[in-house]
Structure formats: C-alpha cells, structure tokens
Amino acid sequence: MTSAKVWPCARLSGVIDLKFLRENPDVVRASQVNRGEDPSLVDQLLAADEQRRAAIVKADQLRSEQKAFGKKIGQASPEERPALLEGSNELKEKVKAAGEEAAAAEAKVTELQYQLSNVVEGAPAGGEDDFIVLEEVGEKPQFDFEPKDHLELGETLGLIDVKRGAKVGGARFYYLTGDGAFLQLGMLMLAAQKAREAGFKLMIPPVLVRPDVMQGTGFLGQHSDEIYYLPADDLYLVGTSEVALAGYHKEEIIDLSKGPLQYAGWSSCFRREAGSHGKDTRGILRVHQFDKLEMFVYCKPEDAEEMHQKLLNMEKDMLEAMELSYRTIDIAGGDLGSSAARKFDNEAWVPTQDTYRELTSTSNCTTFQARRLSTRYRDENGKTQYAATLNGTLATTRWLVAILENHQQADGSVVVPEALRPFVGKDVLYPVNS
C-alpha cells in the first residue's frame, strides 16, 4: 500500500461559510492564529471571493447582452444582418472568455477555502502541550510490586502476540489471541449496547471510501500521509468509521425534526503512523490496524454543544465501567484536526509509563464536514440549512493497554472489569504456559 494522494480541491464544493467570513473576518483570523496557522489566508480568500463575484457579474452582463443582441438580429433586415452576425461572433467570444474567467475565479476560491481549517470555538490557544485539564477521575492504582507493562502481561496471559503479527504483517501488527480477543469483543459489545440504550443506531460501515468522502471529512490535509491509499481502485482505507458515517448522508436533505441522527460505527481502522518512527513501538498502543466503536451525530447547529457534552459523558461512563482512572482535557487549537472546532480527550492512567495516555476523543465539527459533503436539513421555515456533525470514540483496541496494566496483580494475573465478565466468561485472567 502507498500513502495518500492529494485530492484536487477545485472539484469540490464550499467549506467555510463565505457569508460568515465576509461578516466576521477577524473571528476567522483569530481562529487561524489560535491554531498556529496562516491568518493571511483569510485576506487571500476575501480577495478571491471579490474577484469571483465580479467575474460572475461580468459574465452575466455579457450573457444578457448576447441575448438582447440575438433578438436584434432576428428583427434586422437582410442587409443589416451580416454586420450584426459579425458582432454577435465577437460577443460570443467575450461571453466564452468571461465564463472561463468566472470558472477560474470559482476554482481559486474553492482552493483557498480548502486550506482554511474549521473556526475554533472555545478551545485554548497553543499546541499539543497547551491543553487544559478539566477534571481527574478515580484513584491511580498503587502497587506493592513492580508492575508489568501491557505487552509483558499480554504475552504471559496468552492475550497478545506481536512477534507473529510482525512476521505476518510487519512492524506494528499483532494478533489478539484467546481471552485477548474476548476482552476486545466484550469491550466493543458493551460499548455497542450502551450506544443503543442512548439512542444510537449501530452500523457496520465500509472501511474503504472514495476520495471525495475522505476529503469531505477533512482527513486529506496536513495528515494525509497517515492514510492508506489504494491507487488501483482510487479508494482509501479509513482510520475511523467517522469517515464512512459522515459520507452516509452525503448530498442528502436529512430529517432532524424529531431530533439528532445518532449512529455508532463498529469497524476495523487503518493508520500508517507516518512520522511516528520510534514512538510507542512496543505493544499495541500505536498500531496500523485496530477496531473501534465510533459515535457520530448529525444535528442542528444550535444543538451541537449539548450533543458534544452527551458524547463526552458517554465516553466517561464507559471508562468508569472499565474501572479506570482518567482525566478529561480540553485540546488546544493547534492540536485540533482541521475539521474540529472543539475537542475533548479522555486519557487513562498507564502505570508503567507514569502518565496519562489518550483513550477517547470527541469533536464538534460544527457545519464544516456537512458543507463539504452537502448534508442539509430543513429548518422550521422549510429552508435548507447545513447540519452540524460530531464524533466520539466509545471503545477501541488501545483501551486494552490501560485495562491490563491497571488491573494486574502481584502473581501476574489480571482482574477482568466486572462489566466485561459476562463477555469474557472469566473474573481473572491467569498466566498460561504457552
């Protein structure tokens, strides 16, 4: 597999709301600064938008002249007609040139729009280390023995096999074996049940998507090298089922009159982990393939903040069901993905690393993705508006890292969280001989 190609921006429709940009340029400039990105793009886009509108007016005027000239030719005498036809041909060329100018101006606007990330809403300024800790939940485990890391536990308990994973797939691949497979399946099944109880429809979506869907969700920007691309088929492997769920209602007018549409996608996910050489190479914390249950919501923009809190609360409830100590952080603008206006992460305590590591994220993407994918709804007046979209992880493979390390015992066994015991069929996992 090769890395992702760049998808031509000009083939797609609008992204940033140009009306909002014209009326609030300082807000968008401040958002760019918050993200550590180029604020001059705002002025470039405003200038391009002015040129586009002027080109459209010019083209429309020439077409009107052409239409009027056609009527004049129809009413002309045979003697007058040759000269008028010559003038008509000149006008035809001007109309053609004006149309080409307008099309080029439109393409320039679209190109610049796709360089602008979503407008930040409330996120702290700064980069990866400038998050704000909102709360810490639970007590960190205290051991009277030297704790083992998740890989050593996984191997001695017969749960994880990275050696054979590397033999078959290469670095950062692995097998979940025996009770390790049941741990993951149980965790995902519990997440699916919780999602259904909260009103989400369970989905098993495609893991291969078209370029316009991948681009529409905002994943073909700065981090496109993280994505696996299949050039023979012109398809991408998803790194999250958010992509397929965002494309589910592409170019549709959806019904939000009875409330948000809520989906939970269960899928395998694939990431190249480009640029992470030497980082988290041990075990299953940072791998090329993993399974995940991802929540995805379409709602009216005014409901997005409330839905964001709902997703965050569901993630916290799931972490507490895993009996993990964690903290919730507000991600800084410079560490947001291009589509997110606000993002919260939940990080679980990993004893052998003596630090918190991310297990879940939930993002409010406002109307950014829906504009790219043309997903709309009708408001109370029957007028179409762009929907807001949100996403959040409810369970994924890397959770096993925290579960194994936090629930280990002195004899090398691991206590299964009570909520997972019906799925695993065991209360405690003991070391195996082979």
Same domain for 248 and 159: yes
Last residue of a domain, one of 84, 115, 146: 115
The active-site residue, picked from 286, 327, 378, 421, is 286
**Which residues participate in the annotated binding site?**
240-242, 271-273, 287-290, 294, 358-361, 391, 393
271 is catalytic: yes
Same domain for 152 and 93: no
Q: How far apart are CA 50 and CA 44, in angstroms?
A: 10
Least confident of 51-60, 68-77, 178-187, 194-203: 68-77
Q: How many residues does the chain have?
A: 434
Q: How many domains does the chain have?
A: 2
199-256 residue pLDDT tens: 999 999 999 999 999 999 988 876 788 999 999 999 999 999 999 999 999 999 999 9
63 is catalytic: no
- At residue 315, the 3 state secondary structure works out as helix
361 is catalytic: yes
22 is catalytic: no
Residue ranges making up the domain that contains 29: 18-115
Q: Give Dmax over CA atoms of the chain in angstroms.
A: 108
Same domain for 193 and 248: yes
The active-site residue, picked from 35, 52, 376, 398, is 398
- At residue 153, the 3 state secondary structure works out as helix
Same domain for 301 and 216: yes
Same domain for 275 and 391: yes
Last residue of a domain, one of 63, 88, 115: 115
Last residue of a domain, one of 63, 85, 115: 115
Same domain for 159 and 111: no
Q: How far apart are CA 227 and CA 204, in angstroms?
A: 20
Q: Is the pLDDT of residue 280 over 90?
A: no
> Looking at residue 182, which CATH number applies to its domain?
3.30.930.10
> 220 in a domain, yes or no?
yes
Contact at 8 Å (CB) between 207 and 238? Answer: yes
372 is catalytic: no
Mean pLDDT to the nearest integer, 124-135:
94
Same domain for 190 and 223: yes
Helix 179-197, helix 399-406: angle, nearest 10:
110
Same domain for 146 and 108: no
Q: pTM of the full predicted structure?
A: 0.89
Q: Is the pLDDT of residue 279 over 90?
A: no
Q: Of 18-22, 84-88, 172-176, which has the strongest mean pLDDT?
A: 172-176
The active-site residue, picked from 361, 363, 372, 405, is 361
- At residue 233, the 3 state secondary structure works out as coil
Smallest CA-to-CA distance from 334 within 125, 151, 180 is with 125
Q: What is the pLDDT of residue 88?
A: 67
**Which residues participate in the annotated binding site for L-serine?**
240-242, 271, 294, 391, 393
| Mean pLDDT of the chain, nearest integer | 91
Same domain for 275 and 227: yes
> 126 in a domain, yes or no?
no
Same domain for 75 and 25: yes
Element containing residue 31 per DSSP (H, E):
helix 25-35
**CA gyration radius for the chain?**
27
